[in-house]
Chain A
Amino acid sequence: MKANSLYRIIVIAVILLLAVTAPYWLPMYYIQLLDVSLSIGLTAMSFILLAGYCGMISFAQMAFYAMAAYIIGIGTMDLGWPNWALLPLSVAGASFLSAVFGAIAIRAKGVYFLMMTLALSQLFYGVGLEWESVTHGWNGVAGITRPEIFGVSLLSATPRYYTALVVTIISYLVLRRIVRSPFGLALQGIRDNPTKMAALGFNVQLYRYIAIIISGAFAGVGGVLGVYSTGVVSPHTNDLSAIVRVVLAALIGGVTRLEGGIVGAVVTVLLISFTSRYTSRYWMVVGAVFMLVMLFLPNGILGIKLKKNTDASSRRSI
């Protein structure tokens, strides 16, 4: 037990040390990749909060991400609003969108929930594409200016990376606190046996709904990091390949642990970056990796938790 916790502390210390010193020994290009990974990893954690801890596969996380990114982009470039107002507003906007989507999708379970969230997410893509007077359509908002923190502009990669690192670590700690709290334990109880939890007096739907809104807020934080790291928001922020990227990150990292989202995001972003260097068909490679992960690691990665769900639903139908 003691050796185990010592081992954990060493691993955490080494990872933190590597992450903090990264700008000193990694080329700038990789720092930018890590920056992007953190924004995707944060969103993947919000996916894992729902998938791993509530048994709900939500394909709408990138819509919440894009909502926050659009608020930052339009607010900065078109409206000229100050950053101190836009930051809370963007997270609030993402939470609001998740509250709306959640209210519609909450009544569906299992594969129906996935379907609802996907459809809603795609309709949001349509809004970004077609509501041109606000969202600037296909091209979106580009060249978004970054704010300054303590007099340092986030336009340069290193301070942006450190900011993203701090935000991601804080978000991780908050999420970990949530899943270990009585509320989080209740969510896991609902995931495993909703009927029993309802019998024990838990308001099952309310717990699920709150979890969706929390995950929407964190996906929104991911969106803020993402829009500052790329400087662009467009319908592609929320297209099928963006959804694939987040889901793949969560699958590679493992949906049963929050930190898996970050690890998976780093692996996914590096994979896309490396393959795009050798071939322009990198989405085919990503699709193939995605398929292989599903085909050969279904139990280790997605299987256990999800299978329980599908089994339960098929048992009911007999």
Chain B
Amino acid sequence: MNQILLQFVNGITYAGLLFMIASGFTLIFGVMRVINMSHGAFYILGAYIAYTIQKQTGNWVAGIIVGSIAVGITALMVRMLVSRVKGALPQTVLTLGIAMMIGDLCLYIWGGLPRTVGEPTFTMNPIPLLGSTYPAFRFFVLALACVVGSGMWYMLQRTQLGRILRAGTDNRLMTSALGINIDRIFTLVFILTGLLTGLSGAVGGTYIAFGPGSDFSILTYALVVVIMGGMGSITGSALGALIVGLVDSIGRAYVHEVAIFLLMGTLIIVLAFRPRGLLGREE
């Protein structure tokens, strides 16, 4: 019984990380209709930079901050390249080339061995849970995801920028016709996503090991979460992350190597009933 509960807690903390990864991805998609294929590359770039800074200075928080900002700047550069091409499909294909380059750059700088960012001192002591102990850092990830989620919810629902973003998601042409500089909004969304994904990379790199190839698997999880939850919806991402996190953790604990089929099956069942995802809307 405790074992099941433990997997449940694992799934929920993992879902926190997945939500942080997927929310930036879905934000870009919602506003620009572009699938940012370099999303996984953003993640590992943030993780690697945080790894190096943490190793040099011993300060985890500094690593997280530098990692986020560096990826934010990278995202700005990607945005500048993407804006050179017209149309969502060519833009999407373009980001694939960028993903290759960032991935290879990381391989060049940091080599092929898997790495983990050193844990911060404030989560060193495990938390007693269900008669055993549980890594405190995982709870920290969950708490951070809640903060990020509430922050995004507040921004989207209560601020002027959020209203513009939601309007842009609904109808991009109409929004720019109302005199809003949609290009500047796109740039802002890219930077925001970069910061958020760099942060998820730095935090996720402390949670689970990463290395060459992680960019690909992170992109997979981001895609599955976003497709399941409904593309462009932040609440949908939270829901999708929760489902994927739980299915993946429980699957890995009980059916081991065929857990991926469980994930695939869940995705297929969701799409069979809700072709646009759980909270997705018709185009």
In which size bucket is the chain A interface? 35 or more
Q: State whether A290 touches B173 (Cβ < 8 A).
A: no
Q: State whether B35 touches A294 (Cβ < 8 A).
A: no
A95 to B190, CA, bound (A): 38
Interface hit among B88-96, B121-129, B140-148, B160-168: B88-96
| SS of A interface (majority) | helix
Residues of B within 8 A of A (CB): 33-35, 37, 81, 84-90, 92-94, 96-101, 103-105, 108, 171-174, 213, 215-217, 219-220, 223-224, 227, 231, 257-261, 263-264, 267-268, 271, 275, 283
A280 to B128, CA, bound (A): 48
Residue in contact with A116 in the complex, picked from B37, B90, B227, B283, CB distance below 8 Å: B227
Q: Does A5 contact B (CB under 8 A)?
A: no
Which residue of B88, B90, B259 has the most chain A CB atoms within 10 A of its CB atom? B90
Q: Does A286 contact B (CB under 8 A)?
A: yes
Q: Which residues of B contact A133 (CB under 8 A)?
A: 257
Task: Given A127-B261, A283-B100, check contact A316 B283 (CB 8 Å).
Answer: yes
Task: Given A302-B93, A317-B171, check contact A104 B268 (CB 8 Å).
Answer: yes
Residue in contact with B223 in the complex, picked from A118, A127, A289, A291, CB distance below 8 Å: A118
Q: State whether A115 touches B90 (Cβ < 8 A).
A: no
Q: Does A33 contact B (CB under 8 A)?
A: no
- The distance from the CB of A36 to the nearest CB of chain B, in whole angstroms, is 19
Q: Would you list the 3 A-B pairs with minimal beta carbon distance, nearest first?
A: A287-B100, A290-B97, A287-B101
Task: Given A112-B231, A316-B283, check contact A288 B90 (CB 8 Å).
Answer: no
- In the complex, besides A122-B217, A302-B89, A303-B90, 5 extra interface pairs with C-beta distance below 8 angstroms are A283-B104, A295-B94, A298-B90, A310-B88, A318-B171
Task: Given A123-B267, A291-B101, check contact A306 B89 (CB 8 Å).
Answer: yes
Q: Does A131 contact B (CB under 8 A)?
A: yes
- The distance from the CB of B255 to the nearest CB of chain A, in whole angstroms, is 11
Q: State whether B101 touches A294 (Cβ < 8 A).
A: no
- The distance from the CB of B128 to the nearest CB of chain A, in whole angstroms, is 32
Residue in contact with A298 in the complex, picked from B86, B227, B264, B268, CB distance below 8 Å: B86
Interface set, chain A 302-318, CB cutoff 8 A to B? 302-303, 306-307, 309-311, 313-314, 316-318
Q: Which residues of A contact B99 (CB under 8 A)?
A: 240, 287
Q: Which residues of A contact B257 (CB under 8 A)?
A: 130-133
Task: Given A123-B224, A291-B98, check contact A111 B85 (CB 8 Å).
Answer: no
Task: Given A122-B223, A240-B99, A286-B100, check contact A115 B231 (CB 8 Å).
Answer: yes
A209 to B219, CA, bound (A): 26
Which residue of A107, A247, A294, A310 has the most chain B CB atoms within 10 A of its CB atom? A294
Q: Does A70 contact B (CB under 8 A)?
A: no
A-B contact count (CB 8 A): 148
Q: State whether B173 touches A104 (Cβ < 8 A).
A: no
A57 to B264, CA, bound (A): 21
Q: Does A88 contact B (CB under 8 A)?
A: no
| SS of B interface (majority) | helix
Q: State whether B108 touches A281 (Cβ < 8 A).
A: yes
A281 to B103, CA, bound (A): 11
A1 to B51, CA, bound (A): 66
- The distance from the CB of B250 to the nearest CB of chain A, in whole angstroms, is 15
Q: Does A239 contact B (CB under 8 A)?
A: yes
Proximity string of chain A (78-118) to chain B, C-beta cutoff 8 Å, 1 when within and 0 when not: 00000000000000000000000000100110111011101
Q: State whether B35 touches A291 (Cβ < 8 A).
A: no
Q: State whether B35 touches A131 (Cβ < 8 A).
A: no
Q: Which residues of A contact B275 (CB under 8 A)?
A: 107-108
- The distance from the CB of B260 to the nearest CB of chain A, in whole angstroms, is 4
Chain B's closest residue to A111 (CB) is: B88
Q: Which residues of A contact B93 (CB under 8 A)?
A: 57, 247, 251, 294, 302
- The distance from the CB of B21 to the nearest CB of chain A, in whole angstroms, is 14
Q: Does A284 contact B (CB under 8 A)?
A: yes
Q: Which residues of A contact B104 (CB under 8 A)?
A: 281, 283-284, 287
